[in-house]
Amino acid sequence: MIFLLATHNLKKREELARILEPLGIGVQTAEQAGVELTDVEETGTTFEENAVLKAVGGCLESGMPCVADDSGLEVDALGGAPGVYSARYAGEHGNDAKNIDKLLEALRDVPQGERTARFVCTACCAFPDGSRIITRGVCTGSIAFERAGTGGFGYDPVFVPDGADGRSMASLDDAQKDAISHRRRALEQLAQKLREKGIGQS
């Protein structure tokens, strides 16, 4: 069975495919499947609601089982912000540099021990029969005072995962990042639930 990936974010698409394919789940982008997906307006107030909106929308438009995720950063000192607004925190969707600038400014006077945060990912797989699977993964850590590393995307340069020896997510290689990432954790749960349905490698 081939699953459609409902995302226009090229880096996220690469990461989703990189994690899912070794689990025995074949994936295609909309372009590969010859499908034109409408941009879904992320009107949900939770990661789960937005993931469902994107997966169900992609499934309805393509007729294929569709995997989508919604993810973001929750910072304790900011009351859980930026949360579902992570990609557009600074007002312009997907401008990673401005989002990080705003975050660092908001935390400028917050000391080291109070900069705890987590990356959260909710993954949803929607099927043409109307059924869906929803999972959630979390990676805990803290926000650094400045950027470090050149890998990853989003807030990776300022997010320091617990147990990473003080290195930012952007300083880890793909294998190291995948081993601890919120997206990996959500997708592994998704793969397990798919196997329980008789899909993918056991």
Within 10 A of 14 (CB to CB), how many other CB atoms are there? 14
Parallel, antiparallel or unpaired: strands 2-5 and 66-75: parallel
Residue 70 is a catalytic residue: yes
Helix axes 10-20, 182-196, angle to 10 degrees: 50
Among 70, 162, 165, 174, which one carries the catalytic annotation?
70
Rounded distance between C-alpha atoms, residue 73 and residue 146, angstroms: 16
Q: Chain-centre distance of CA 14, in angstroms?
A: 11
With CA atoms as reference, report the closest residue to 117 among 153, 82, 74: 74
Q: Could you give the maximum distance between any two Cα atoms of the chain, in Å?
A: 51
Q: How far apart are CA 190 and CA 186, in angstroms?
A: 6
Q: Catalytic positions, please?
A: 70
